[in-house]
Amino acid sequence: MSDHYDLIIIGTGAGGGTLLHRLAPSGKRILVLERGDYLPREKENWDAVSVFQKDRYHTKDVWIDKDGEDLHPQQAYYVGGQTKVYGAALFRLRERDFTEVRHEGGISPAWPLTYAEMEPYYQRAEELFEVHGVAGEDPTEGPHSGPYPFPPVSNEPRIQEVFDGLTRIGHKPFHLPMGVRLLENDRVASPCIKCNTCDGYPCMIHAKSDADILCVRPSLAHPGVTLLRNALVRRLIATGTQVSSVEAIVEGEHRSFSADVVVLAAGAINSAVILLRSGLANGSDQVGRNFMKHNNVAMSAISKVPNPTIFQKTFGCNDYYWGDEDVAYPLGHLQLLGKANADQFSAESPVPGVPPAIFQAMGTHSVDWWLTGEDLPTAENRVFLDADDRVHLDYTDGNRVSFARLQHRWVEELRKVDATFGFTSYAAYLRKEIPLAGVAHQVGTCVFGEDPASSVLDLDCKAHELDNLYVVDGSFFPSIGAINPSLTIVANALRVGDHLAARLG
């Protein structure tokens, strides 16, 4: 038996949740299939041991890496998807990111759309996700048609010292565009309490700008919307050029659904898996290929000066985004992390028996940074299924020379600001630094373009080979830039949402 709808959306993250919010008021009959449930509100939400050491909110699924070893992905399967545990830094891609860019490690391809075409959707995305920031403060940021909807999140005193120090030696730090539901001038009414358990944690008080709270739950007030949780989509069945049914396991029961339009928004990896398992949309042999997830490293600067900051993730720096005086190639992006504590430092310590006081001292004195460099799309970096239906994620790091330069330069610059800084990589301590398992920035597995021979989706993110199948997560990215991709996923979902609103009538 098949249940028919006007629209089926598979996934509720930055792409699927946003698309639902855009189309829910249409009066159409919309079914949303989410493989997870609501993330529980519990004390463990804000417990570093539960979140970082015990991986309480990550899937227990096991994938396979390029060496045939088990890979335990840091995937969050809940209503709201990865936005339930993301850091909520919501950047626009730079205007030049939409063009072909030559890197030291290769070419970052041009997008089939321009920044100017995406800009109105970025503006709407910032309003929907309640982004705080200052337009024009970041010199690499493209033109804005309007201001950020909320003022920037203020720096606490120790962080303001670092901000001022960087400014003094010629840098241009800027307030991060943050998606937090914060009213700093009215803390009584503010949903956000500006705590130290935001970046990487679920928000116990629903004050993070995530797709669940801002998009999905408000959409359920519309009578045409049905959300099925714990609904794992296995495959799509096509008849001719139409997806005729969506096969899912819902609460352990096999179910079949159909719709005039079907939208995949399961995340770049799982959307590719569903298409590959279904044998659909892959005439170009590009489904699953061109996987990107950024070059990332978290760096802790340990100073003799204590850092009592609570909410640390408030500013970034893009002075090396396009290179520096010595290197003509792009290097990458820098931003503060949420404040690290002793439990995070000890989570993956390679040295047994370290006294807890050492980790406590590190947490008390560190200023913590997240460095991002662009990785480049290649056909060999890919998602695929083996004969036993196991998910493989083959990935080889690329464009690493420039990223190493970025790390070296930032150490040099911070020492100019504060000679008491020392440095240690989080690579040995914080689980989110694991190179491949940390797939929060996954994009590129179903790229969009005008040529069906070299892309999976057209410019509306419809599959070239199917008349009623769309993909609205990060799969469509031809390149990733060097900043967090979430806002671009949201903006694109709004863009595709306008197209689908016209199509559905």
CA–CA distance, 365 with 360 (Å, rounded to integer): 9
For residue 237, the domain's CATH number is 3.50.50.60
pLDDT tens digit sequence for 73-90: 999 999 999 999 999 999
pLDDT at 429: 30
Flag whether pLDDT at 327 surpasses 50: yes
CB atoms within 10 A of CB 239: 8
Angle ∠(243,1,501) on CA atoms, nearest 5: 40
Flag whether pLDDT at 460 surpasses 90: yes
Flag whether pLDDT at 166 surpasses 60: yes
- Over residues 335-363, mean pLDDT: 82
Going by the DSSP 8-state scheme, the letter that residue 142 receives in this structure is P
Structure-derived torsion over alpha carbons of residues 116, 119, 121, 122, reported in degrees to the nearest 10 = 150
Query: Which band of pLDDT confidence, cut at 50, 70 and 90, is reported for residue 122?
Result: very high
pLDDT at 348: 63
pLDDT at 426: 38
- Which of 264-273, 397-406, 425-434 bottoms out in mean pLDDT, i.e. has the lowest? 425-434
Flag whether pLDDT at 434 surpasses 60: no
pLDDT at 350: 64
Residue recorded with tokens 């694991």: 434
Flag whether pLDDT at 43 surpasses 60: yes
List beta partners, residue 8: 31, 262
Residue recorded with tokens 């840098």: 171
* DSSP code per residue over 81-117: GGGGTS--B-PPPPGGGGS-EEETTEEEPPPSS-HHH
Query: Which band of pLDDT confidence, cut at 50, 70 and 90, is reported for residue 359?
Result: confident
Give the C-alpha distances (Å, rounded to integers) separating 445 from 34, 472, 474, 481. 20, 12, 8, 15
Flag whether pLDDT at 149 surpasses 90: yes
* pTM metric for this prediction: 0.96
Q: Among residues 87, 84, 88, which one has the least CA distance to residue 37?
A: 84
- Chain-centre distance of CA 502, in angstroms? 28
Q: Are 288 and 272 in contact (CB under 8 A)?
A: yes
- Over residues 106-114, mean pLDDT: 98
CA–CA distance, 201 with 57 (Å, rounded to integer): 9
324: its two tokens: 């520096």
Number of structural domains in the chain: 1
Q: Are 289 and 379 in contact (CB under 8 A)?
A: yes
Flag whether pLDDT at 97 surpasses 60: yes
Query: Which band of pLDDT confidence, cut at 50, 70 and 90, is reported for residue 216?
Result: very high
- Over residues 188-201, mean pLDDT: 96
pLDDT at 435: 62
Helix, strand, coil content of the chain in percent (nearest 5):
25, 25, 50
pLDDT at 117: 98
pLDDT at 432: 43
Q: Which residue has the higher pLDDT, 356 or 249?
A: 249
Average pLDDT value over all residues in the chain? 94
Q: Among residues 7, 27, 9, which one has the least CA distance to residue 18?
A: 9
Q: Are 375 and 399 in contact (CB under 8 A)?
A: yes
| Parent domain of 222 | 2-504
- Over residues 456-465, mean pLDDT: 98
Q: Are 343 and 49 in contact (CB under 8 A)?
A: yes
pLDDT at 11: 98
Query: Which band of pLDDT confidence, cut at 50, 70 and 90, is reported for residue 354?
Result: confident
Q: Are 470 and 462 in contact (CB under 8 A)?
A: yes
**Helix, coil or strand: residue 244:** strand
